[in-house]
Chains A and B, each alone.
Chain A
Amino acid sequence: MSLTLINVLFAVVAAIGFAALNAAYLVWCERKGAGFFQRRPGPTENGPWGLLQPPVDGIKLMTKQLIIPGGVDKAFFMVAPVLAMFPAIMSFVTIPFSENIVAHNMDIGVLMIFAFASMGSMSLLLAGWGSRNKYSLMSSVRAVSQSIAYEIPMLITVITVVMITGSMDLKVIVEDQTAGFWQWNVFALLKSPLMPVSFLIFFICSLAETNRAPFDLGEAESELVAGFHTEYSSMGFGLFFMGEYANIVIGACLTTILFLGGWGCPFGLLPGVWWFLLKVYLLIFTFIWIRWTFPRTTIYGLLNLSWKILIPISLFNLLLTAGLLKVF
């Protein structure tokens, strides 16, 4: 009993620590990456290569005054940032980093992550509504319609993977792919010839679900000031920020687990967890790369992409996979 308690406590601390550390240093990566893509140095002042920038930023955010504007709906205004961070931390509970490094493996791991991820849009709604600000409200309406639109193809694609594996257990899904890199679900053309397409759909959807450019309509600064977090200052803003980066990490982890063979290593030089992290950070680099390469789409383009292209393709993919599984 007490050992379980220690395990739980350790897992909670580790999950929060991992989320916070990633949030801090992914911002640094993002700024360095942006600098690299735009041919400028990025942060250089604090520490070597600007490596001390994140802690300094953190101190700045924490010491700023937390302003609660007069007209806001106080309860919603306070709850929204917490709700932005909470689902991300909950999702880390069931993500297996390697055979042994997982806080609590559940046989419905995939479902649990999506259940908590779907609570994220609630936080955007509350933030936008609670701010009592036209721009915030418009932004949250956009962000929510976007996340509803992209949750559907994402879940359908995940169902395809779950059907192929026959389990919702993330560990089982990975173990199904560890034989070699040709067993990874992206390359599993024998199971379903459209697997690379599924991977692409899932990746696009995870970009959209995390409100990243080119799909960051929710915080389009040229139209909406800063979107749903316009009225937030200090750590209120900080929590939204951390939530966003934690969601990026979870998106990359899920893509790795579902399609890229999790901790399975192509030639086995390093222990599994390092391969897992390597894949995750390569995906995150791709996230950053895309953000600083593509311009923002329009809201209609965004919704059309989901409802008219991604959903039909993923439905077709689902039917095809089901048919193939039935026949063979």
Chain B
Amino acid sequence: MNPSSVAAVGPGLLTADGLTGLIFLIMVAITLIGGIIACNAERLVRAVAGLVVCFVGVAALYYFLNSPFVAMMQLLIYVGAVSVTIAFAIMLAAPEEKKKIGPAGPLAGPLGFITAGLTAIAMIVLALKTQFVSLPKVNNGSVETIGVQLLSNFSMVFELVSVVLLIAILGALVIARGGRNK
């Protein structure tokens, strides 16, 4: 919300702040468009492509927020590895590219729209009522600081993430084993 109001009310579009706001909005738009494509595409492969667009948008936002390391990691892991793996799985599993068909859930149609509308209103009200406090800059976001923080203050999170990955690998192995025995 903030940068958009900066672009609209604050300095004109051609000043540095205005352009920054515009760039921010473009990145948000890219992320949103990617997300919408990912949710609404009729073909699975298109959905993955939407996901990639969304990830790139998010990476751009990270870069915009002055943390290039996280942005590059987002690109490397999500665009370069996760999306490629998903697309790869789809190609191996369903090469016929059938259209997605399934029973419509109870929230499809008017109920869904009402839910979405209510959620949107709630979010907007929340955003407008909240006093946004701009926190002081903690560090310079360099690789070194991130590394030190990850291995000291946030080492618990770091270890938990590796446990999650380990469980995922074990799960994949179990599923693959079962498939081979059949």
Q: Are B72 and A108 in contact (CB under 8 A)?
A: yes
B45 touching A111, Cβ below 8 Å:
no
A sample of 10 inter-chain contacts (CB < 8 A) reads: A75-B46, A108-B69, A119-B79, A122-B80, A122-B83, A125-B91, A137-B95, A140-B91, A145-B88, A148-B81
Mark out the residues of chain A between 97 and 141 whose CB falls within 8 Å of any chain B CB in the assembled complex.
106-108, 111-112, 114-119, 121-122, 125-126, 129, 137, 140-141
Residues 101-125 of B, flagged 1 when their CB comes within 8 A of A and 0 if not, give 0000000000000000000000000
What chain A residues lie within 8 Å of B72 (beta carbons)?
108, 111-112, 115
Per DSSP, are chain B's interface residues mostly helix, strand or loop, or mixed?
helix
Instruction: Note all chain A residues with C-beta closer than 8 A to B83.
Output: 122
Q: Are B92 and A141 in contact (CB under 8 A)?
A: yes
Q: Give the B interface residue count (CB, 8 A).
A: 24
Contact at A144–B88, with CB atoms within 8 Å? yes
| Contacting residues, chain A, for B79 (C-beta < 8 A) | 115, 118-119, 122
Q: Which of B75, B81, B88 contacts A116 (CB 8 A)?
A: B75
A139-179 residues with Cβ-Cβ distance < 8 A to B are: 140-141, 144-145, 148, 151, 168
Q: Closest A-chain residue to B48, C-beta based?
A: A125
Interface status of A76 (Cβ within 8 A of chain B): yes
Interface presence of B138 (CB below 8 A): no
**A154 nearest CB across to chain B (Å):** 12
> Could you tell me which residues of chain B, from 55 to 92, have a CB within 8 Å of some CB in chain A?
68-69, 72-73, 75-76, 79-81, 83-85, 87-88, 91-92
**A129 in complex: contacting residue of B69, B80, B91, CB < 8 Å:** B91
Judge if A67 is at the interface, Cβ distance under 8 Å: no
Say if the beta carbon of B143 comes within 8 Å of chain A: yes
Q: Is the interface of A mostly helix, strand, loop or mixed?
A: helix
The reply on B142 being an interface residue by CB < 8 A is yes
Q: Give Cα distance in the complex from A122 to B76, angstroms.
A: 12
A117 surroundings in chain B (CB, below 8 A): 80
Cβ contact within 8 Å between A106 and B84: no
Q: Is the CB of B69 within 8 A of A119?
A: no
Assembly CA distance A141 to B92 (angstroms): 8
Q: Which residue of B lies closest to A111 (CB)?
A: B72
A269 at the interface (CB under 8 A from B): no
CB of B27 closer than 8 Å to a CB of A: no
Cα A119 to Cα B79 with chains together (Å): 7
Residue of B nearest to A169 (CB): B143
With A and B bound together, what is the CA distance between A326 and B52 in angstroms? 39
Contacting residue for B69 out of A111, A116, A151, CB 8 A = A111
> How many Å lie between the Cα of A285 and that of B45 in the bound state?
39
- B81 pairs with A141, CB closer than 8 A: no
Residue of A nearest to B76 (CB): A115
Q: Apart from A115-B73, A141-B91, what are 17 other A-B pairs with CB-CB below 8 Å?
A: A75-B49, A108-B69, A108-B143, A111-B76, A114-B76, A116-B75, A118-B80, A118-B84, A119-B75, A119-B79, A121-B80, A122-B87, A129-B45, A137-B91, A137-B95, A140-B91, A145-B88
